């Protein structure tokens, strides 16, 4: 109820600001104009490509990088928390590049990998890797030593402890890292689609900004916000199934 109320209040404020002309229509278009632009793009597409094509290409780049993050950052983060030697190798590398703005190294990625989707996916992958790695590493390090000692007492070896004690105990932290990574990667999507892209929601927003089409910019931003919320909702639903004990300790 509160969520619905918040959305309605924001829409009313938006409507009031545009109706009272408190801001220029170029800066803040009216809800009606944004909705009309959405319908037009939905029917006619934008710059020779349908809205579905723009959304599909952006999601392909985002989800491809996300799969790579899951396959690499999760095991490396868990191993770094579990093994001090691996942590000594990985942690400085992650801490070095993590604060860097994505555009600072995107040029290098384009030079190394070309202007096609591979460099864009690599940029999104690097943006999402650090949050997941740190969350996993932190999850292992805060694990109670009693759990590990108890498993050793019962005769478990290091491999069994990792898969049957460490990994399940770190699942809540893993999902926190994954949800954070989606948000960080999505915010990097616009930067990823700045170079040599002709499709994508981020590219559509950038292209519209060149012509001061704030209505299309709003359409793109709203679509990105909604799809981001849907992806997060899916992750939360999976988390509830995989980690049913979360919050019940």
Nearest to 125 by CA among 190, 184, 69: 69
- pLDDT tens, position by position, for the chain (249 residues)? 677 888 888 888 888 888 888 877 788 888 889 999 999 999 998 988 899 999 999 999 999 999 999 999 999 999 898 888 888 999 889 989 888 888 788 888 888 988 888 989 999 999 999 999 999 999 888 887 777 777 777 777 777 877 888 888 888 899 999 999 998 988 888 878 877 778 899 889 889 988 888 999 999 999 988 998 899 999 999 988 888 776 555
Domain residue limits, the chain: 26-242
For the domain covering 26-242, report its CATH number: 1.10.3720.10
pLDDT of 249? 54
pLDDT of 67? 94
pLDDT of 41? 92
pLDDT of 23? 79
């Amino acid at each position: 109820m509160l969520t619905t109320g918040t959305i309605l209040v924001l829409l009313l404020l938006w409507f009031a600001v545009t109706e009272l002309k408190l801001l220029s229509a170029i800066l803040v278009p009216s809800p009606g104009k944004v909705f009309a632009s959405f319908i037009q793009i939905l029917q006619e597409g934008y710059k020779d490509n349908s809205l579905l094509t723009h959304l599909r290409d952006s999601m392909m780049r985002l989800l491809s990088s996300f799969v790579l993050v899951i396959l690499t950052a999760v095991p490396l983060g868990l191993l770094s928390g579990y093994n001090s030697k691996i942590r000594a190798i990985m942690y400085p590398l992650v801490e070095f590049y993590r604060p860097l703005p994505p555009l600072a190294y995107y040029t290098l990625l384009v030079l190394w990998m070309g202007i096609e989707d591979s460099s864009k996916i690599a940029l999104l992958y690097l943006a999402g890797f650090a949050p997941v790695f740190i969350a996993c590493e932190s999850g292992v390090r805060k694990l109670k030593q009693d759990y590990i000692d108890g498993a050793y007492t019962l005769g478990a070896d290091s491999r069994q402890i990792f898969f049957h004690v460490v990994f399940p105990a770190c699942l809540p932290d893993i999902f926190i890292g994954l949800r954070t990574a989606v948000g960080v990667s999505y915010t990097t999507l616009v930067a990823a689609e700045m170079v040599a892209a002709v499709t994508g929601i981020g590219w559509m927003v950038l292209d519209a900004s060149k012509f001061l089409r704030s209505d299309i910019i709003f359409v793109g931003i709203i679509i990105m916000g909604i799809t981001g919320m849907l992806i997060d909702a899916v992750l939360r639903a999976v988390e509830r199934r995989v980690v049913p004990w979360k919050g019940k300790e």
